[in-house]
Structure 1
Amino acid sequence: MAAPQPINRGPSLGFMRVIQVLFAINIIAVLVSCATLRSGTYTLGFSEVLDMVNLVFDGVSFWLIMQRSRGARYWIIGFSAFNIAAGTIYNAATGQFNVLDQLGASAFDIVLLLYFLFAKRPRQVLTVEFTARRCKELVVRAWDLWQPRTWSFWRSMIIYFCLFSIVGHWMEAGFCLFIKWGIVPGIYDPNSGIWHDYLNPFPVYGAGMVACAVLLFPIKNLLEEKLGGIAKPLVASFIVNALVCAVIELVLGLTSNMPDANGVYPLWDYSTMPFNFMGQICLQNTLLFGVVATLMTWVVYPALQREYLKLPEPMRQTFFVAVLVFYAIVVCLYVINITLPV
Structure 2
Amino acid sequence: MQPAIAARLLGRQVSARIAPVCSAAQLLRALPAPPKTRAGLRMRPSGSDRSGKTMTDPRLFQLDKFEEESYFTPKTWGFWRGVIMYFFIFSLVGHWMEIPYCALMDALFGIVEPDYAAFVDPLHVPYWVYGAGTVVLTLVLLPLKISIVRRCKTLWGAALGFLVAAVAIAAVLETVIGLIINQPDAFGEYPYWDNSQLAGNILGQGWIVNDIGLGLVSLFYVWVVFPFCQKIFLSISPKAANRFFFIVLAVVALACVSWYVPQVFAALGLQGGVVLS
TM-score range, shorter chain: 0.5 to 0.7
Query: Does 1:215 pair with 2:156?
Result: no
C-alpha separation in 1, matches of 2:209 and 2:113: 18
Task: Report the Cα offset of residue 259 of structure 1.
Answer: 2.6
Q: 1:112-158: per-residue Cα shift (whole Å, max 9, x none)?
A: xxxxxxxxxxxxxxxxxx9xxxx8xx333334311112222112111
TM-score, scaled to structure 2: 0.68
TM-score, scaled to structure 1: 0.56
Which among 144, 150, 165 is matched to residue 240 of structure 1? 165
Which among 176, 182, 193 is matched to residue 117 of structure 2? 193
C-alpha separation in 2, matches of 1:253 and 1:334: 29
Larger deviation: 257-266 or 273-282? 257-266
**Native 8 Å contact 1:166 1:199 kept in 2:** yes
Query: How much is the aligned-residue C-alpha RMSD, in angstroms?
Result: 2.6
Identity among equivalent positions (%) equals: 32
**Native 8 Å contact 1:308 1:316 kept in 2:** yes
Residue 180 to residue 227, structure 1, CA distance change in 2 (3 Å): same
Q: What's 1:228 paired with? A: 153
Residue 254 to residue 316, structure 1, CA distance change in 2 (3 Å): farther
Query: Does 1:272 pair with 2:194?
Result: no
In structure 2, the residue corresponding to 1:181 is in which secondary structure? helix
In structure 1, the residue corresponding to 2:197 is in which secondary structure? coil
In structure 1, the residue corresponding to 2:140 is in which secondary structure? helix
Q: 1:208-258: per-residue Cα shift (whole Å, max 9, x none)?
A: 222222221221122111111123211110011112222332343234333
Question: Unpaired segments of 5 or more residues in structure 1?
Answer: 1-65, 69-129
Which among 255, 258, 277 is matched to residue 330 of structure 1? 255
C-alpha separation in 1, matches of 2:114 and 2:152: 45
Q: What's 2:67 paired with? A: 141
Q: What's 1:9 paired with? A: none
The one-letter amino acid paired with 1:162 is F
**Native 8 Å contact 1:238 1:294 kept in 2:** yes
Residue 280 to residue 188, structure 1, CA distance change in 2 (3 Å): same
Higher normalized contact order (CA 8 Å, seq sep 6+, divided by chain length): 2
The one-letter amino acid paired with 2:66 is V
Question: Unpaired segments of 5 or more residues in structure 2?
Answer: 1-56
Q: 1:53-108: per-residue Cα shift (whole Å, max 9, x none)?
A: xxxxxxxxxxxxx849xxxxxxxxxxxxxxxxxxxxxxxxxxxxxxxxxxxxxxxx
Which among 77, 86, 95 is matched to residue 169 of structure 1? 95
Q: What's 2:210 paired with? A: 285
Which structure: larger Rg?
Answer: 2
C-alpha separation in 2, matches of 1:171 and 1:269: 21
C-alpha separation in 2, matches of 1:257 and 1:311: 46
